[in-house]
A and B are shown apart, each in its own frame.
Chain A
Amino acid sequence: MSEIKFTIDGKECTARAGQTIVEAAKANRIYIPVLCHFEGLKPAGTCRICTVRVGGRFMAACTTPVAEGMNVENNTPAIEDMRKEIIEMLFVEGNHMCPTCEKSGNCELQALGYRYKMMVPRFPYLWPQRSVIADAPKIYLDRNRCVQCLRCVRDVITSDGKHVFGVTMRGGKTLISIDKELAAKLTEEEAVKAMNQCPVGCILRKEIGFKIPIGQRKYDTKPIGSEIEG
């Protein structure tokens, strides 16, 4: 495959044809924040945190392929503040009680909040009423914590191609849900996979919890993104 030359904030980078801006940036050790993105899954572009500016236009870096000669603006004050706004929007749009959440320390939303030095969201809390789904045998869905990344929708699919997770409603009422019959048939492996790919504490495997103590978890020791920046 031919090599592509492009820049991120003026730094010269190279990429393989077909790579997205997020993938190419990572290969060049530049961190573009992502939340809905999950390696191996078709990009969805739901959270918009990875938004960059190219040629005066804003676009999601996770869904846009790099092109020869592209000049990507990534780490500018205006873009960084809009990203912070997106993170804050996600916090006020759901009901996130970090201290009581099993995912605390492993949560990508929380980690982004730290990385972006969010103290208090600038937006008023919306306090939506969202019910939990507790009647599936292996998994538990606390939809208060859902950030609508659609990772579970994209990846948890039965062998005959049916979605186990799906999206209902629209607008501000949009809510993730499950096919109860299919969810009841999830194997141990699938249930754990669903939990592990959830960036927040929305999908949890029942009966296991706090295996790793808070304080020793992934983002308790190193900020999100540092694995890319080295």
Chain B
Amino acid sequence: MGNLSEIVKKCADNYQKDPTKMLDVIRDVQAELGQVADDAIAEIAKQMNVSSIDVEGVVTFYHFFSKEPVGKYSVYLNNSAVAVMKGCYDIAKEFEKEAGCKFGEVSSDGKIGLHYTADIGMNDQEPSAIINDVIFTNLTSDKVKAIVADMKSGKKIQDTVKEFGDGNNQNALIKAMVKNNIQKTGAVLLAPFEPGTALKKAVSMTPEAVIEEMKISSLRGRGGAGFPTGMKWDYTRQSAGDKKYIVCNGDEGEPGTFKDRVLFTERAEMLFEGMAIGGYAIGADEGLLYLRGEYMYLKQYLENVLETMRKAGTLGKNAGGKSGFNFDIKIQMGAGAYICGEESALIESAEGKRGEPRNRPPFPAQRGFMGKPTSVNNVESFCSAARIMLEGGAWFAKMGTAQSKGTKLLSVSGDCKKPGIYEVEFGTTVQTLLEECDGRTAQAVQVGGPSGVCIDKSKYGNRICFDDLATGGSVIVIGPDRDILEVVHNFMEFFEEESCGWCTPCRAGNQLLLHKLEKVMHGHGTESDLQEMEKWCVTVKSMSRCGLGQTSPNPIQSTLKNFRGLYEAKIQKGKDFVTEFDMAAAVKESCAAAGRKPDLGEH
């Protein structure tokens, strides 16, 4: 016990026992102890002077925290839809065989823990896994054998990575096997960027003029909702507050997106300058980057970029050379929770709590991080803002469609020959994209991730933009041999698990939708099941509190609309009712105990 309390005390002291640093404290405790069990929870509560139930609430909320041992080496294998397409379950078997334990378990010597996790932002290089913060991509049986052998011999996990990806993935502070897979560059985001220039331009203008320029550009938020960035900054600027914050949403949790990861790797200066520009515009002196836990491997590198920018005078006192503009940026790590991409949940999480969205009003622009006016923007939005400062709002607004200006980064994955990042002008059709990524045979395309829509061939002429097919960037190509219902099922399992649990329709409704889908997939459904499912989708969407619940039925709803035949092929036509009850299975155990053969006669 003495040892435990010393370890916890040290971790808490490292963050001055600041309760808003709860996630960091828990992460460090888990790194030391391999788990955060009840005794550690009680000790953290004591050290941080909060109730133990609040600590337990946080520990059990986040995917990467665990009350049970996670293993000295904890393998988190992605099993989201595209990973499944690329064979993650074969890889799982290989891990189980080599490690000698099942997924959800830890090997008997406590060395290796095998866990599944949702999308880790590597959809263009699946199967992939995270082991103690180190990323492993394009996994094969041979690679798994080598990795497990290294883990068994006690090697440092980083030393297991021998080949590195392209660009900054080779940087001494990253050294990851991750590839950028930049397939198409555009004028805004992936064109060359000279550090220091964008902020310099911005601070030569008044904050009002910066906001005006943003409004002229018509830039809409790239995180999914598409709210005009200039307007958001204006509201936040107008909000009364002695302190304001700029927050960058780096949670990138929507399965199938990985474009922010590439921006972090290749355009970090552009991002941080974009944040400083936002800070200048709204009158903030502090920026916060909330980085998803999965991207821990980028943290050291990003911290170093910040340090270099401070030394160059771009950040810190008189940032960008503007006297009196003191602006700096901190990084807050997440711990695995899709809902933390929702801006108010992100703020809760950044304050060290469970990532539960807030009720609105008030909006973050009125009362956000630490109760102060806050502008939360996506990584790509900030990078676009930096370019807009350099090239002007009018230049930007020349690209795109009537309602969607500029370019968009698309993360393309699934059944195509050239998965990766495409910077396209808004208005590009799905068909054009399918040709560029060589996914012409697609029977369906999932645009906007699980919360988006699944479209069939008849809609490949539709355009990617807010006025037609809106997307935060995720495009998943589904080839001709795939079972679309399996994909739908994977997405529904994802939402069911990722619901924060706050409100009834999302918490219970998604479980019920999942059950119903399974009933139909197992051949026990009838036409009325399809109708009920349709109705329940509407209820969950209408009654849920936040964007997660309001979109979670989309996988079912959009496929019921666009691929109804798939459902109809599974149901028992012309029947009003089919029992789900399986008599043989129900009596199997008792018959075995009694040594009898089941007499199923008539029932």
Contacts and interface: CB of A to CB of B under 8 A. Distances in A.
Interface of A: 43-49, 51, 58, 60, 63, 65, 82, 85-86, 89-90, 92-93, 122-124, 126, 147-148, 158, 162-174, 177-182
Given A65-B361, A93-B507, A166 B501 contact: no
A177 B56 contact: yes
B57 A171 contact: no
B508 A90 contact: yes
A181 B52 contact: yes
Interface stretch (B293-301, B415-423, B537-545): B537-545
Contacts of A166: 51, 53-54, 56-57
Contact of A46 (B54, B497, B502, B515): B502
A60 B542 CA distance: 10
A172 B499 contact: yes
17 contacts: A48-B505, A86-B504, A86-B505, A89-B504, A89-B512, A93-B504, A93-B507, A148-B504, A158-B51, A165-B53, A166-B54, A167-B354, A169-B501, A170-B498, A170-B501, A172-B511, A179-B45
Contacts of A49: 504
Contacts of B57: 166-168
B53 A177 contact: yes
Contacts of B501: 148, 167, 169-174
Given A82-B542, A126-B511, A63 B359 contact: yes
B193 interface: no
B53 A179 contact: yes
B577 to A, nearest CB: 13
Contact of B508 (A44, A93, A170, A181): A93
A196 B177 CA distance: 58
Contacts of A181: 52
Task: Tell me which of B45, B56, B498 has the highest count of chain A C-beta atoms within 10 A of its own C-beta.
Answer: B56
Contacts of A65: 361
Most buried by A among B53, B337, B500: B53
Contacts of B45: 179
Interface string B442-455: 00000000000000
Contacts of B497: 170-171
Majority SS at the chain B contact face? helix
B359 A174 contact: no
B519 to A, nearest CB: 9
Interface string B495-538: 01111111111011111100100000000000000001000100
Nearest to B62: A170
Contacts of B532: 122
Interface string B351-369: 0001000010100000000
Given A44-B359, A82-B539, A177-B56, 11 more contacts: A45-B359, A48-B503, A51-B543, A148-B501, A162-B54, A164-B51, A164-B53, A166-B53, A168-B56, A172-B499, A178-B53
A90 B545 CA distance: 16
Contacts of A167: 57, 354, 501
A172 B60 contact: no
A172 B496 contact: yes
Contact of B507 (A171, A179, A180): A171
Q: Which of B50, B52, B508 has the most CB of A within 10 A?
A: B508
Contact of B60 (A45, A164, A168): A168
A162 B54 CA distance: 9
A82 B498 CA distance: 23
A96 to B, nearest CB: 13
6 tightest Cβ-Cβ pairs between the two chains A and B: A174-B501, A166-B53, A162-B51, A89-B508, A179-B53, A93-B508
Given A45-B545, A63-B359, A172 B54 contact: no
A149 B532 CA distance: 27
Interface string B424-444: 000000000000000000000
B290 interface: no
A89 B503 contact: no
A102 B56 CA distance: 29
Contacts of B51: 158, 162-164, 166, 179, 182
B515 A124 contact: yes
A90 B45 CA distance: 32
Which of B51, B57, B359, B539 has most A Cβ within 10 Å?
A: B51
For B45, B500, B543, B545, the residue with the greatest tally of chain A CB atoms inside 10 Å of its CB is: B543
B507 A82 contact: no
Nearest to B515: A124
